[in-house]
Amino acid sequence: MTTRVQRLGHRPRREAGSTAVPSGKAAYRKLINPLQPQRSFSDDQIATLHDTALRVLENLGMRVLNEEAFEYFRDAGAKVDSSTSTVFIDRGLVQKALASAPGSFALAGASSERDIQIGGSNTAFVCIGGPPNVMDIDRGRRAGTQEDMRSFFKLSQHFEVLHIQGVNVEPQDVPLELRHLVQTEGQLTLSDKPLFVYARGSDQVKDMFEMIRIARGLDNEGFRARPHCFTVINTNSPRQLDVPMCQGIIDFARAKQVTIITPFTLAGAMAPITIAGALALQHAEALAGITLSQIVNPGAPVVYGSFTSNVDMKSGSPAFGTPEFVRAAFGAGQLARHIGLPWRGSAATASNTPDAQSTYEYLNSAWGSVLGGVNMMLHAAGWLESGLSASLEKFILDVEMLQTIAEIFQTADLETDNLYEAIAEVEPGGHFFGAPYTMARYQTAFYQPLVSDWRNFGQWSEDGAKTATMRANTIWKKVVENFEAPPLQAGAEEALKDFVARRTREGGAFPV
Amino acid sequence: MTTRVQRLGHRPRREAGSTAVPSGKAAYRKLINPLQPQRSFSDDQIATLHDTALRVLENLGMRVLNEEAFEYFRDAGAKVDSSTSTVFIDRGLVQKALASAPGSFALAGASSERDIQIGGSNTAFVCIGGPPNVMDIDRGRRAGTQEDMRSFFKLSQHFEVLHIQGVNVEPQDVPLELRHLVQTEGQLTLSDKPLFVYARGSDQVKDMFEMIRIARGLDNEGFRARPHCFTVINTNSPRQLDVPMCQGIIDFARAKQVTIITPFTLAGAMAPITIAGALALQHAEALAGITLSQIVNPGAPVVYGSFTSNVDMKSGSPAFGTPEFVRAAFGAGQLARHIGLPWRGSAATASNTPDAQSTYEYLNSAWGSVLGGVNMMLHAAGWLESGLSASLEKFILDVEMLQTIAEIFQTADLETDNLYEAIAEVEPGGHFFGAPYTMARYQTAFYQPLVSDWRNFGQWSEDGAKTATMRANTIWKKVVENFEAPPLQAGAEEALKDFVARRTREGGAFPV
C-alpha cells in the first residue's frame, strides 16, 4: 500500500481520461426532497396508531433484558416487573422523551462539506450494511472478505449520491474480535463521509469511538459535541430489547452519537399481520428505545427507524418492495412526523440475483421511502437476497436510480422565462437541434446516465448486447481500480494503524 | 379454430389447476388513485406555461396540412394564412373548446363491467401500441406477426390490471391494406375490453367503426351515444398537424369516439431543450388538436396527451424514464388539471432488452405518470427499445409492477381496530404465525406476486437459478396456451368474419 504522501503526490488517476467514471454532481451532496409526502392513514388513524402504541407500552410493557437499561427505566419512574424483566412505560415518560429528542441534527463528516443534515426535508442515502456474503457476476456468491469490504467503502466514497458509509459486507476473513477494528479503519481511511459503528458491546464501541477521535483529531469533548457516526438498534420484535441493543442505546446516548431505533416488525411473523397492526407494534417498540436514549441523555440524537414489511405466509420468507412495504413506508413516515423525529427507511429486495425483480423491488422500496419523506434511506446501494448478500453490480445499478431521484429533486432550473421566444426559433415541422436556445444549454440540460445505454438495437448488438448488469460490472471495477482516498489529517493514518496494532495485540474485543 | 359454442361448452382450461396463471383481483378493474399528485411547477408557473401556449397559437400559429381541418378552423373564426397553411387560433376559440370538452367520460367495453371511467382520479392502464418488432427470449427480436399480435391481445385480456386494449405489435405478415381488419377483429374476438383504432385514413376508420358496431350489436345511433374506442393523434412537432392526424380528429369527433392528442415533444429535438419549453410547446399543440375536435363536434371526448421526454444530445436518441421524463410527467399532469381534461401518460424505456435498465426506466416512468395523476397510462405493458419492439417477457414483468401499483391504491383495508388486542395476543420475543388475528387473515392479507421469487438462495439455485425474465417467459406461454376468449353476442363472430372477408375481397383500405 502506498502512503498518503505518495498518493497525493501523484496526479489523481481518475482524471486520466477514458478510465474515469463520473462521481455525480456536487448538488447531490445535499438533497432536499420537494415531493409531497404520501399518506396511508388519515390524521385520526395516525392518532389511533400512536395511542395504541402508548397503551401497549403502559399496559403490556416491553421486556428489557439489559439490567442497566432496566434500572434506567425504573429510576425514571416506569413501573417494572423484575420477575419477567418487564418495563411498563407510561405516556408521560414517552412525551418527555419526545420533547427532548432533537427533530433535526447534523451528522459530521471529516470536513464541513461532508456534513449531512438529518431531519426535515433533508434526504440522505446510506450504503448497504450487514450481509455475510458478496456477489459479482464474475465470481458468483461467496463469503465476504476484507477486500470486498474495502471495495464497497471505495464505491460509497466515490459517488456523491451516497452520503453516509455503511459497514457493507462482513469481512469473514478477519477474526470476529478484530472485525470492528478493520471495519472502522476502512471507513476512516478510505472515506471522509460520516460512518457506521456496530453496537455489539461496549468494548467494541469504545474502540471505534476512539478511532474516530484519532482520525478526526478530536478530544473527548470535541467528539461528544457533534454526532460523527450512527448505529442501528433492532428490537427483538415483539416487545423485547436485548442486552447488546440496550447497551448500544446507552453507549451512544452517553456519547451523543446517533442511534436509529428500528423494530424488525415483519407483518404476520414478528408483528400482527395487518400493516396497521405491524406499524402499531413498530411504533411502540421504537418509542421504548427512543425513551431509553432520552432517559440516559436528554437531547441525544435518535432516529425513528422502520423496517415493516410482509412475509410469504407459505414459507415465512420476508418480502420487500411489495405493495405492503410501500404502504407501510408511507405510514411510518406519517408516524415519524407525528412525533417530530427524523425517519429512517430502506430500499430492499428479496431477489437472489441482480435482475428485473431486484430492480423493481428495490425501486418500489426507494420510491416508497422517498414519497414517505425518508430522512435516512439505509441499504440504498448493493442490497440483495433479503440482506444476505451485497452485490457489486447492483450497487452500480442502485446508484443510477439514486441519481435519478436526486435529479428529480433538483427543481430550481425549471426555467419558465423566454419559452415563447424559444418556440418561435423553429418553424413548423423543423427541429431544435441547432437552435440558439438549444446551443446555450445542450451540454448540461439533461442527466447523463451512468449505466443506461440509449443506443439503437444495432449499435448495442454490435457492441456485445450487454445487459445493464454486465455494464455495471465494468463500472464498479473501474471505480475500485482508479480509487484515490481522500486525505486524512497529518499523522492520523499512522496513529490509527498504531491503535489497531495495539488492540490486535491485546486480543481485540468480541461481540456480545 | 374452434367455434365460440365449442369453446363455451368446455370447462375453461384455466380452472384446470397447476397450469393456471392468476389474472389478478376483480378490484383491479376500477382503479382510483388515492396518491397526492406531485408538482413540477408552482401555480404561477403553470399559468405562465398556459399563457405561453395561447400566445404561440395566436401569434405563431399551427401549420394545418389537411384542407377540411383548415376550413373548420377558418369557419370557426381563426385567422388563417393559406399560403403557408397556417392557422392562428385566438384564446377565445381555445376557451370555448375547453368549455365543451368533457372532463370525464366512460369508455365502453362489451359489458358494463368492462366500462372504464376516464378522468378525475380514475386510472386506466393500456397495453403497448405500435412497435414493428416483437421479442422473446426463445426467438430473439424479429418482425411482428399476426400470431404475435394475437398473443398480446390474449395477455391484455387475461390480466385485470390492463383496462384497455392496444394494437400492440404490427402484424407484418398481413398486407398493409388488411391490417386494420385483423387488428380490429383480433381485439373484438379475443377481448371484451375497450379497444384501439388507428387513425390512418377515413376508409380504414369507417371499416373499424363498422366492425365495432357488428361485434357490440349497435346501430349508428347506439355507437355514437358512447365512446367504445380511442385513437392517438400525434402532432408533427413542432407546430404541425398533418393530413391523416387531422382527419382522425375529424372522424373520431364526428362519431363521438375518443381522441388522445399527443404532441411528440422530445426536448432538444422536436421541442425546446428545457422541460418547461417542451411542455409549453406540447401544451400549444395539444390545445390546437383539442380545439379542432370541439369545433367539429362540441362535447366529443378528448384526452390531453403528453409524451415529453429528453434525447441523448450526442446521438439524438430518445430517452425514457429519465429524471426529465418524470418531471415532465408531473408538469403535464398539472397542465391537464389546469384545463380540466383527462391526462394520458406513458410507461416507457429505451433499453434494448428486458433487463435492469428496462425495469428502472419503465418503473420510473410509471411512478412519474401515477404520481402526476395519470388517467390513461399507455404502453403500460410490453414496451421495449423506445417503442420499436414489444417484448413478451417484459409484458409479464410490467404486469407485476402494475399490480403492485394497483395494490398500493387499495387503501380501504387498512384496519385500525383491535390493534392493541392483536399485539396482546403474543408474548415478548414470540411470533405471530399462529395467532388468532393472523389465522383470520393470512389467506388474503398480502399481495401474491406473479413473477417475484422469494425463496432462499439455496432453493432458488436448486430450481435452476432462473431470473425474473426467465420466469416471465414461462408465464406468458401458459397464459397464451390456456387462453379462453370471452363470449361474443350471438352471431357476432360470424358477422365479423363475413365483413372481413368482404372487405378483403374488395381490397381493404390502404393507410393514408
pLDDT of residue B5 exceeding 90, the answer is: no
Using an 8 Å CB-CB cutoff, list chain B residues near A62: 428
Arithmetic mean of pLDDT, A103-128: 97
| Contact (CB, 8 A) for A370 and A343 | no
Model confidence pLDDT, tens digit, residues B67-93: 999 999 999 999 999 999 999 999 999
Phi first, then psi: what are they for A488, rounded to 5°? -95, 165
Q: Which amino acid is at A441?
A: R
pLDDT band at B18 (very low <50, low <70, confident <90, very high): low
DSSP state at residue B347: -
d(C-alpha A12, C-alpha A8), whole Å:
8
- Which residue out of B327, B330, B408 would a mutagenesis test of the A interface target, given it has the greatest number of A Cβ atoms within 10 Å? B408
Phi first, then psi: what are they for B378, rounded to 5°? -85, 165
Model confidence pLDDT, tens digit, residues A137-194: 999 999 999 999 999 999 999 999 999 999 999 999 999 999 999 999 999 999 999 9
Span between the terminal Cα atoms of chain A, in Å: 33
Arithmetic mean of pLDDT, B302-330: 95
Residues 144-203 of B with CB under 8 A from A: none
Which of A319, A356, A413 lies nearest to residue B454, judging by beta carbons? A319
Arithmetic mean of pLDDT, B174-196: 98
Which of B63, B331, B416 lies nearest to residue A49, judging by beta carbons? B416
pLDDT of residue B1 exceeding 80, the answer is: no
Asked whether the beta carbons of residue A423 and residue B454 sit closer than 8 angstroms, the reply is no
d(C-alpha A214, C-alpha A184), whole Å:
11
Using an 8 Å CB-CB cutoff, list chain B residues near A141: 457
d(C-alpha A107, C-alpha A195), whole Å:
9
Using an 8 Å CB-CB cutoff, list chain B residues near A316: 433
d(C-alpha B53, C-alpha A257), whole Å:
54
pLDDT of residue B150 exceeding 80, the answer is: yes
Q: State the pLDDT at residue A18.
A: 53
The whole-chain average pLDDT of chain A stands at 94
CB contact set of B110 (below 8 Å; sequence gap of 6+): B192, B193, B215, B216, B486, B488
- Which residue out of B91, B420, B427, B443 would a mutagenesis test of the A interface target, given it has the greatest number of A Cβ atoms within 10 Å? B420
Arithmetic mean of pLDDT, A281-285: 98
Using an 8 Å CB-CB cutoff, list chain B residues near A354: 356
Distances, alpha carbon A244 to alpha carbons B98, B220, B383, in Å: 66, 77, 51
Note every long-range contact of B439-445, with CB atoms under 8 Å and residues 24 or more positions apart, other chains counting. B441/A273, B441/A274, B442/A268, B442/A273, B442/A313, B443/A313, B445/A267, B445/A268, B445/A273, B445/A274, B445/A310, B445/A313
B137 reaches A (C-beta below 8 A): no
Residues 440-459 of B with CB under 8 A from A: 441-443, 445-447, 449, 451-457
The ipTM assigned to this model is: 0.95
DSSP state at residue B321: S
DSSP state at residue B271: B
pLDDT band at A5 (very low <50, low <70, confident <90, very high): very low
CB contact set of A7 (below 8 Å; sequence gap of 6+): A484, A485
- Give B6→chain A minimum CA distance, Å: 38
Using an 8 Å CB-CB cutoff, list chain A residues near B36: 36-39
Kindly identify which residue of chain A lies nearest to residue B55, measuring between CA atoms. Answer: A420
Using an 8 Å CB-CB cutoff, list chain B residues near A383: none
Q: State the pLDDT at residue A21.
A: 95
Asked whether the beta carbons of residue A433 and residue B351 sit closer than 8 angstroms, the reply is no
The percentage of residues in chain B with a pLDDT greater than 90, rounded to a whole number, is 93
* Helix (H) or strand (E) run with residue A79 in it: strand A79-81
Asked whether the beta carbons of residue B277 and residue A313 sit closer than 8 angstroms, the reply is no
Model confidence pLDDT, tens digit, residues A43-76: 999 999 999 999 999 999 999 999 999 999 999 9
Distances, alpha carbon A170 to alpha carbons A150, A206, A496, B88, in Å: 11, 20, 21, 68
- Which residue out of B324, B326, B359, B460 would a mutagenesis test of the A interface target, given it has the greatest number of A Cβ atoms within 10 Å? B359
Q: State the pLDDT at residue B412.
A: 56
Q: At what angle do helices A67-75 and A243-254 cross, to 10 degrees?
A: 60
Q: 3-state DSSP call for residue A221?
A: helix
Model confidence pLDDT, tens digit, residues B35-70: 999 999 999 999 999 999 999 999 999 999 999 999
Closest of B475, B483, B507 to residue B189, by C-alpha = B483
Place of cell 438495437: A457
pLDDT of residue A413 exceeding 70, the answer is: no
Residues 231-260 of B with CB under 8 A from A: 236, 238-240
d(C-alpha B512, C-alpha B503), whole Å:
17
DSSP letters for B440-457: TTTTTSS---SS---S-H
Residues 362-401 of A with CB under 8 A from B: 363-364, 367, 371, 385, 388-389, 397, 400-401
Q: State the pLDDT at residue A368.
A: 98
* Helix (H) or strand (E) run with residue A246 in it: helix A243-254
**Confidence (pTM):** 0.95
Residue A44 neighbours by CB distance under 10 Å: 9
The percentage of residues in chain B with a pLDDT greater than 70, rounded to a whole number, is 96
Asked whether the beta carbons of residue B445 and residue A420 sit closer than 8 angstroms, the reply is no
- Give B331→chain A minimum CA distance, Å: 10
Arithmetic mean of pLDDT, B248-260: 98
Helices vs. strands in chain B: H and E counts, helices first: 18, 20
Kindly identify which residue of chain A lies nearest to residue B45, measuring between CA atoms. Answer: A416
d(C-alpha A228, C-alpha A211), whole Å:
11
The whole-chain average pLDDT of chain B stands at 94
A404 reaches B (C-beta below 8 A): yes
Kindly identify which residue of chain A lies nearest to residue B443, measuring between CA atoms. Answer: A313
Closest of A88, A64, A118 to residue A304, by C-alpha = A118
pLDDT of residue A208 exceeding 80, the answer is: yes
Residues 280-309 of A with CB under 8 A from B: 280-281, 284
Which of B141, B315, B454 lies nearest to residue A317, judging by beta carbons? B454
> In this structure, are strands A383-384 and A389-391 parallel, antiparallel, or unpaired?
antiparallel
